[in-house]
A and B are shown apart, each in its own frame.
Chain A
Amino acid sequence: MNRHLLSAADLSLDDATLILDTATEMAQVSDRTVKKLPTLRGRTVVNLFFEDSTRTKTSFELAAKRLSADVINFAAKGSSVSKGETLKDTALTLEAMGSDAVVIRHSWSGAPVNLARIIRGSVVNAGDGTHEHPTQALLDAFTMRQKLGRLEGLKVTIVGDILHSRVARSNVLLLKTLGAEVTLVAPPTLFPRGVDSWPAEVSYDLDAVLPKSDVVMMLRVQRERMGAAYFPSAREYSRRYGLDVDRVLALQDHTIVMHPGPMVRGMEIASEVADGLRSTIVDQVTNGVSVRMAVLYLLLGGSESAIGSAEA
């Protein structure tokens, strides 16, 4: 039976904890001279990226290689992708190559679910449209636990374009499972209708939420959203929802500042904050590799997966 990591909701508390604990051990490998384990020797991992993302692709590639898996990078970006049969055809090609796992990034929400129905191997969602990005949520949780020592009861504030953010969706689901309390902050236009049913608090007032937060996670806000009248100007967005030097003064001493990247400096986060002592942005990148090693090991390392959902 093959299993997949398609949504953060696929992970039980035990699953998520196992991944984070495994990642802690994997992190040691990155500190060694020989940064390689023989664990996935003979296994093939395909990076199937229908959307550009050098950082995520590199992170998965490094993770797979540190576990000695063979890695095939399959860049499927291009105009033909929007044509229906491509995903299926690509999937069948990968199947024929004997891939054991496919790491997929796609601009359409749900594409990893569709892929998982077609192929025999495991599917790892590396970000699909505005749906989910479960390994990002895992590395965020890992970083929070590393910096603050726990997840249970942590007050996590996620600020920015919740409507279009797969990072927000995965974080809300995973952090709920892990016992943290999430507050989402954005202008009302950048919340999806239906957000009131999410396991998170909703606020339009960043300044009211910041002093209570243990973690502040800033999300990228694309300037093109202005064109669709989600907010009037970058300056106004930044004034009301940006994390600037003054707002950081309102934080508790231990509070950390996170960002999944890529950042829009001066928009949602000031450079001084992004590069400041509270910032975990670099740690998040490092931890990404460890967490993805853990996911690949637990999905592929044995006769059957130890984590994830059996259904697509």
Chain B
Amino acid sequence: MSWVLKNVTLYGEGDPVDVALHEGVIAEIGHGLSADEELDATGCVLLPGLVDLHTHLREPGREDAETVDTGTQAAAVGGFTAVHAMANTEPVADTAGVVEQVWRLGQEHGHCDVFPVGAVTVGLAGKEMAELGTMADSAARVRIFSDDGKCVSDASLMRRALEYVKAFDGVIAQHAQEPRLTDGAQMNEGVNSSMLGLAGWPAVAEEAIIARDCLLTAHVGGRLHVCHISTAGSVELIRWAKGKGWDVTAEVTPHHLLLTDDCARTYDPTFKVNPPLRTQADVDALREALADGTIDAVATDHAPHALEDKETEWGAAAMGMTGLETALAVVVQTMVTTGRLTWRQVAQRMSETPARIGRLEGHGRPLAVGEPANVTLVDPGAAWVVDPAAMASRSRNTPFAGHHLPARVKATFLRGTLTAREGKPV
């Protein structure tokens, strides 16, 4: 089936045009186009399909929280055409078998391409390197390796991993958290944690690892991606490393762009996340860094959790929040409506750059004739209220419940096929 998107502006720039999608590619861009199906996109912005570097799909192992099926439906609703599925499943994605299983599930369901992330170490245990090359060579063609959820804290192991993946142009995505500085940590260490009596997760525990890893990357000539940076100090370190010309990239989550550790004052575990919500000064620094390119990409760290893992005491609750379905709207609220980013820059930070970091083909491509029809249609004027019950994700742990957000994904196309429309998966 072919589609034509009527009266849409590409990257929110220039005069409205019609865009025809046919046989998996952008077939034509012009005026007065027609196709099997027509979608009135007046006032809407067309972006390349969004690419998430950091998604927890929970399958295999915690299908009660999310599955590849439900998670990719949530991705489609949020405007994503590709997600990177984190390795901390049960079993861990540390072999070709597991990554191929996840990749195939993504293909079968067809809501969104799934690119598995391979574990750096066997069982995420931080002891022995997993078979990174075999995963790279598998059908899932893994390029991003991460022990996310845990930090590769052993400096020697981290060095070897950064060196080893050079053979297949891989990247180590580090969850930067010095474990000895975060034993039992519950929230950002600062004024709020002092009053709330919750063990602190200090900024330095993130920054110390980032500094070390940047130096290791320079030493071995490797490629480092830093997951979900959350502090002003981390921004400074990334800026410094880039200034040196080292191959270091960084991502920030939507929740770290909007929320602060004041949220923890409610003791509502919905706001418990790792790394934790930080201070307003950190939020400001992250927004500035995303605007000036120090931070390369927005990644959701979509972390669905079953109700019983969240409906409990703060200390006993699981860490993480969902984010696929709200990511774009939060970025629009924090970055676009405030004038920090143009739509074209949103396309870079949420599609083109993540695709490049993940070495994806067919995603993050220009909106041009002949390119794969992986596109996201955004209505910037459609304000909405976040309702956890209305989400496509199997889990309800969104920190934005009740928030009024600007801009909504109107439709998502994966290789020309409609995968979500008006907040509902197709």
Contact = CB atoms under 8 A, between A and B. Distances in A.
Contacts of A129: 197-198, 315
Given A193-B200, A193-B202, A194-B189, A110 B194 contact: no
B194 A109 contact: no
A84 B317 contact: yes
Q: Is the interface of B mostly helix, strand, loop or mixed?
A: loop
Contact of A131 (B197, B200, B308, B316): B197
Given A85-B308, A131-B196, A193 B317 contact: no
Contacts of B186: 109
A107 B193 CA distance: 16
A307 interface: no
Contacts of B267: 109-110, 113-114
A84 B196 contact: no
A126 to B, nearest CB: 15
Contacts of A193: 189-190, 193-194, 200, 202
A109 B198 CA distance: 6
A128 interface: yes
A88 interface: yes
A106 interface: yes
B313 interface: yes
B229 to A, nearest CB: 20
Given A131-B196, A197-B191, A88 B314 contact: no
B266 A132 contact: no
Nearest to A131: B197
Contacts of A107: 315
Contacts of A86: 312
A109 B316 contact: no
A82 interface: yes
Interface residues of A, number: 28
A113 B195 contact: no
A230 interface: no
B101 interface: no
A193 B192 CA distance: 10
Interface residues of B, number: 26
Nearest to A116: B267
B28 interface: no
B311 interface: yes
B197 A109 contact: yes
Contacts of A87: 312-313
Contacts of A130: 197-199
B191 A108 contact: no
B308 A84 contact: yes
B262 interface: no
A169 interface: yes
A192 B311 contact: no
B131 interface: no
B288 interface: no
A109 B196 contact: yes
Nearest to A173: B195
**Most B CB atoms within 10 A — which of A128, A194, A197?**
A194
Interface string B69-82: 00000000000000
B309 interface: yes
Contact of A192 (B193, B308, B312, B314): B193
A84 B311 contact: yes
Interface string A58-95: 00000000000000000000000011111110000000
Contacts of B192: 194
B315 A109 contact: yes
A166 B312 contact: no
Contacts of A110: 196-198, 267, 313-315
Interface string A185-214: 000000011110110000000000000000
A229 to B, nearest CB: 11
A177 B311 CA distance: 33
A108 B194 contact: no
Contacts of B189: 192-194
Interface in B188-230: 189-200, 202
Interface string A122-162: 00000011111000000000000000000000000000000
Contacts of A85: 308, 311-312
Contact of A111 (B196, B202, B308, B313): B313
Contacts of B314: 108-110, 114
Contacts of A166: 197
Contacts of B194: 192-195, 197-198
Contact of A194 (B195, B266, B313): B195
A194 B190 contact: yes
Contacts of A197: 191, 194
A195 B190 CA distance: 8
B316 A192 contact: no
Contact of B313 (A108, A169, A195): A108
4 closest A-B pairs by CB: A110-B267, A131-B197, A194-B194, A84-B312
8 contacts: A110-B313, A114-B314, A129-B198, A130-B198, A166-B197, A169-B197, A193-B200, A194-B193
Given A87-B312, A108-B315, A194-B189, 8 more contacts: A83-B316, A84-B309, A108-B316, A111-B313, A113-B266, A129-B197, A130-B199, A193-B190
Interface of B: 186, 189-200, 202, 266-267, 308-317
